[in-house]
Amino acid sequence: DTGVSQDPRHKITKRGQNVTFRCDPISEHNRLYWYRQTLGQGPEFLTYFQNEAQLEKSRLLSDRFSAERPKGSFSTLEIQRTEQGDSAMYLCASSAAGVDNEKLFFGSGTQLSVL
């Protein structure tokens, strides 16, 4: 399967713990996006990378959130000191820079539950 892969699919953690999610984009896709989706809402943009450069971060991305894409391939999203309000589906998407860069392909997401 050459789609966007996210790991883990589900994560249950206690408030105050740190969590890290991984995303493997479609091979050769230069752009990688992170979105967050809560029940009954559409995905909300968090941040995106072109290759290894993080080009924009949403105001939704508090200081407790950090994303990296060290070699321009996979990406990680870390949430420190989790809060109950962080419970959501975290979606990763990738697209090819240049032609068709507007077509984002999403992974199945990581469902985070903070107890």
Contact set with other proteins (CB under 8 A): 4, 33, 40-45, 48, 56, 91, 93, 102-109, 111
Q: Which is nearer to other proteins, 52 or 80 (CB)?
A: 52
Q: How many residues does the chain have?
A: 115
Q: State the minimum distance, in angstroms, from the CB of residue 41 to other proteins.
A: 5
In the complex, minimum distance from the CB of residue 6 to other proteins, in angstroms, rounded to a whole number: 8
Which tokens is 72 given?
């321009």
Based on CB atoms, which residue is closest to other proteins, 22 or 80? 22
Helix/strand/coil for 84: helix
Q: How far is the CB of 81 from other proteins (least distance, A)?
A: 27
Residue with smaller CB distance to other proteins, 15 or 55:
55
- DSSP for 2-69 reads -S-EEE-SEEEE-TT--EEEEEE--TT--EEEEEEE-TTS--EEEEEEETTEEEEE-TTS-TTEEEE-
Q: Which is nearer to other proteins, 80 or 106 (CB)?
A: 106
Nearest CA-CA partner of 90 in 53, 43, 48: 43
Which of 18, 32, 24, 47 minimizes the C-alpha distance to 112? Answer: 18
CB of 108 to other proteins, least distance (A): 5
